Structure 1
Amino acid sequence: MKTLIKLFNILILSILLATHTGWAQWSATNSGVANTLWDVYFTDNNTGYAVGGYGTFLKTTDAGANWERLSPSFNHQVFSIEFKDESTGIAAGEYQYMTRTNNGGDSWYNVGNPATGWLFDITFVDEDLAYSVGYGGLILQSTNGGGSWSEVSSGVTDELRKVYFRNTTNGYIVGDNGVILKSTNSGDTWTSKTSGTSQKLRSITFFNDFGGLAVGDSGTVLSTQDAGESWITIDIGTSELLMDIVFSNSTDGYIVGDHGLLLKTTDAGSTWGTIHSGTDLLINSIHFPSADTGYMVGAEGTVIHTFNGGGTVGSQEVKVNNELIIYPNPANNILHLDYDNSSIIDFEILDISGRLIKSGYRKAAALNIGGLSPGLYIIKAQINSQIFTDKFMKK
């Protein structure tokens, strides 16, 4: 009987290995720093910039293979960077800090602005028009390519985290306490929209003229199908902190967040699947300079890239509530089992020979696997009357 069980487990493992196509699509590169990286932006597939803690400014000219450290005169958090062309870019951060380059990052000069607190995001709408948002409902507008800035009324006092324009006319801002603002006149005025949540919203994007998504704390995902006039909450099966969302084309989108979470959709957000990100750490930002080339940055100087469109979604679809979600994979010390917080999960961890290594039961939560030796394992979980079998790699 034991022999049959072992053969069954080996068969299951072989099938899983053959069908798991989400692995090895993203690769880490050495950034040369250990500070948190908050944002990444590429002007083309080869030339990019990353910013982060303690005034960290990085630049690559070889598609992320090597990074050099730039030297603007700032020693605090830098939260956002964006370029309007290959030469002109602006970065923003703590203490109303804003700095500008006109020569591809070779030199930087500080830009005065009326902010009194932190600036969390910055974006160019066109050659001349740019916006930055931040502390206390602050919206800054520049009409000369970031050379000078003036304040625009937001009508709110909450921290504003992200500003996004889907074209030169229609813009959106999200922030704390579920704030969503919309402009239909290139950002001159903004109106508040009902989000239906009090969660902190951290990022927003659109995949066509009407369909958009916003993400934030505690796994919050909001969807609109009427150009941002109304929003509904959708459940994609995670309670993780979600930091950023982007679309590389009209159908393929990505969400990144805590514990190395990387989700992908290939149907404009109708369903989401897990992709192996290559890290257990917080991912703060994701950027695609083209449909196939993407970059992510996060905690401890993490930089991860893909050159094949981010890979194929694995077998774990996370929109449906009756699926067991296992992540990150590979994992260091913590393996997350997400299902339904009210459900008890009976689990077994087996090695590749079918030998029982660990078993127990708990509500959907984080499972400590720190005592396991590095290698490939099978996890079997019974939830109510359903049995799930998957595999994971222990680093």
Structure 2
Amino acid sequence: MKLLIPVLFFTCTLFSQNFTWTVLPLPTTKTVYSIDFRDSLYGFAAGDSGLVLKTTDGGHSWQDISVSRNLTVSDITFTSKTTGFAVGIDFETPPFGTLFFKTTNGGDSWVESRYREDEAYMLALHFLDSLNGWTSGLEGKIAYTTDGGSEWYPALNDTAEFTNFPVLGFSFYTDSLAFAFGGHIDIAGVIWRTTDGGQYWKSHGVGPEPIKGIIVFDSLNLLGIGGDFEYGTAVVRSTDSGLTWDYRSLDIFGVPFGLSFRNATEVWTALGFAEKFIYSTDVGQNWTEVPSPDSGVVYDIQFTDSVTGYTAGRLGYFAKYSRTTVGIEDGGSPALPANHALGQNYPNPFNPVTEIPVELSEAATIKLTIYDMRGREVREIAAGNFDAGNHLFSFQSEGIPSGIYFYRLEITGQSNKKESIVRKMVLLK
């Protein structure tokens, strides 16, 4: 039986420009390198010594679901609340190499498998669904699976100019158009591009330091971020679907880790040992530095919507971003909405991100879900308890085709009265 570990609040918060980061220490002193949240409450954290933790209440308590190996879990990703994958490098049992872990029961148990090559070291994972996924790592390796990780097949990787350069991660725009990123310190940052669903990847040198993350705004416009301790942080930008890139140094000390939208125009990254974040409110043109609360060393960051985000890092560091937007009347007291309401998403039509406004006249339990024209659930945007006030949720359409979709808000109020509101949105790619 797994142990559910409560976490005490520490009242260290960081306030700046209407956002709040609150430190919620994890029940461990192990370093966390990867987090993956399915919604504003349900998420996972992974790191040193086989560490895997699960929360179902937004980081206030954690369940230890660690894998049974003493290795660093470098990446973790879930395609649902039950099906997930993790990767780590085994240096204990010769021949050394990469181990994958898969769960279909939310981490209650893990099935272990070894990568097809000995002494091949994979670092990152990306899964579009429970079957189709990609992994990447050192020596320019990229591989794919079509059966949920039982078998991995090497992709064709154009490494003639960048042989043996590490591939550190992925960003998919559609099932066919995707990008991988990485590079070698003091030599070059590299972005690999595929247009055939990851069978063949073409490399592009984009700057003097490794690229640590990419965000795809639409089929033409992309933003990447990278850096090292010598050059500091830099951004690269493409306006032609990744065929050419413009490089710009930000003159900010720190190495980026992770890149995440908070809303349609605001993007954040964590700067590791620099003990700070930087964020941009104009899709990467200008950047603002923000110290991490308690001087935390942060290695990953993720926003689940415009009002909820998470970051984690060294020695069990974990913090949560939260904000409830409530209007203020002349007397200084909150002006709460008169009724529950689900607003029209904006922009609409949209690509790739839109925002959905929700008004709650009282604290309530809500569920916000996207459906396709046939009534099939596409994605759960938010679920859990929310305060009275105005809330804004972001929907990112990665891996979803163009079409008409419906978003449904289910509300259970304090008197257990249930409401359901549905609106329509249009995705154009």
Q: Is the 8 A contact 1:37 1:52 kept in 2?
A: yes
Q: Report deviation, 1:55.
A: 1.0
After superposition, residues 1-395 of structure 1 pair within 5 angstroms as 21-22=16-17, 25-95=20-90, 96-115=98-117, 116-156=119-159, 157-177=164-184, 178-195=189-206, 197-216=207-226, 217=228, 218-258=232-272, 259-308=274-323
Matched AA of 2:113:
V
Please give the TM-score of this superposition, normalised by the length of structure 2: 0.64
Looking at structure 1, the residues matched to 150 and 83 of structure 2 have their Cα atoms a distance apart, in angstroms, of 11
Distance 1:229 1:305 in 2: 36
Displacement, 1:271?
Answer: 1.4
- Offset at residue 239 of structure 1 (A): 2.6
Q: Give 1:276 shift.
A: 4.1
Structure 1 distance, partners of 2:213, 2:16, is 28
Q: CA deviation at 1:101?
A: 0.3
2:220 is matched by which residue type in structure 1?
A: F
In 2: Cα distance, 1:25 partner to 1:52 partner: 25
Alpha-carbon distance in structure 2 between the residues aligned to 1:127 and 1:58: 20
Counterpart AA for 1:234? R
CA 210–309 in structure 1, closer or farther in 2 if over 3 Å, else same? farther
- What SS is found at the alignment partner of 2:295? coil
Shift of 1:246: 1.5
1:113 partner amino acid: Y
Distance 1:127-1:56 versus aligned 2 partners, 3 A rule: closer
Asked whether the equivalents of residues 207 and 249 of structure 1 are also in contact (C-alpha less than 8 Å), the reply is: no
- CA separation in 1, counterparts of 2:115 and 2:324? 38
Counterpart position of 2:417: none
Cα displacement (A) at 1:21: 3.1
Offset at residue 125 of structure 1 (A)? 2.3
Note the C-alpha offset of 1:280: 2.2
Give the conservation status (yes or no) of the 8 Å contact 2:83–2:130. Answer: no
Following TM superposition, by how much is the alpha carbon of 1:309 offset from its aligned partner in structure 2, in angstroms?
8.5
Q: Is the 8 A contact 2:18 2:323 kept in 1?
A: no
Higher relative contact order (CA 8 A, sep 6+): 1
Q: Following the alignment from structure 1 to structure 2, what is the Cα–Cα distance between the partners of residues 169 and 293?
A: 30
SS at match of 2:49: helix
Instruction: Using the TM superposition, give the Cα deviation of residue 94 of structure 1 relative to its aligned residue in structure 2, in angstroms.
Output: 1.4
- Whole-Å Cα distance in 2 between the matches of residues 170 and 112 of structure 1? 28
CA gap 1:21/1:281 in 2 versus in 1, 3 angstroms: closer
- Structure 1 consecutive aligned stretches of length 4 or more whose deviation exceeds 4 Å: none
Once the two structures are TM-superposed, the CA of residue 207 in structure 1 deviates from its matched residue by 2.6
Shift of 1:112: 3.1
How many angstroms does 1:68 deviate by?
2.0
Higher helix share: 1
Q: 2: CA distance between counterparts of 1:111 and 1:289? A: 30
Aligned residues: 290
Q: Is the 8 A contact 1:22 1:275 kept in 2?
A: no
For residues 121 and 60 of structure 2, the distance between their equivalents in structure 1, rounded to whole angstroms, comes to 32
In structure 2, what is the Cα distance between the partners aligned to 1:59 and 1:159? 29
Match in the other structure for 1:15: none
Q: Which amino acid aligns with 1:245?
A: L
Alpha-carbon distance change, 308 to 245 in structure 1, aligned in 2, over 3 angstroms: same
State the 1:282 CA deviation.
Answer: 2.5
Q: Which residue of 1 aligns with 2:365?
A: none
**SS of 2:114's equivalent?**
coil
Instruction: Report deviation, 1:277.
Output: 2.5
In the TM superposition, residue 124 of structure 1 has moved relative to its aligned partner by 1.0
User: What are the Cα deviations for residues 267-326 of structure 1, in whole angstroms up to 9, with x where unaligned?
Assistant: 11121122343142321111122232111111111111112299xxxxxxxxxxxxxxxx
Name the TM-score, length of structure 1 as normaliser.
Answer: 0.69
Whichever residue aligns with residue 253 of structure 2, its letter is S
Confirm or deny: 8 A CA contact 2:87 2:100 kept in the other structure: yes
Structure 2 distance, partners of 1:309, 1:106, is 34
Preserved contact between residue 26 and residue 278 of structure 1 (Cα < 8 Å): yes
| Matched AA of 1:60 | T
CA distance 1:34–1:132, change in 2 (3 Å): same
SS at match of 1:180: strand
Residues 254 and 265 of structure 1 are in contact (CA less than 8 Å); yes or no, is this contact kept in structure 2?
yes
Q: In the TM superposition, what is the alpha-carbon distance from 1:253 to its structure 2 partner?
A: 0.5
Report if the CA contact (8 A) 2:301-2:312 is conserved: yes
CA contact (8 A) 1:215 1:222 kept: yes
SS, match of residue 257 in structure 2: strand
Conserved 8 A contact 1:55-1:78: yes
Q: Which secondary structure does the structure 2 equivalent of 1:35 belong to?
A: coil
Contact 2:134 2:142 in 1 (8 A): yes
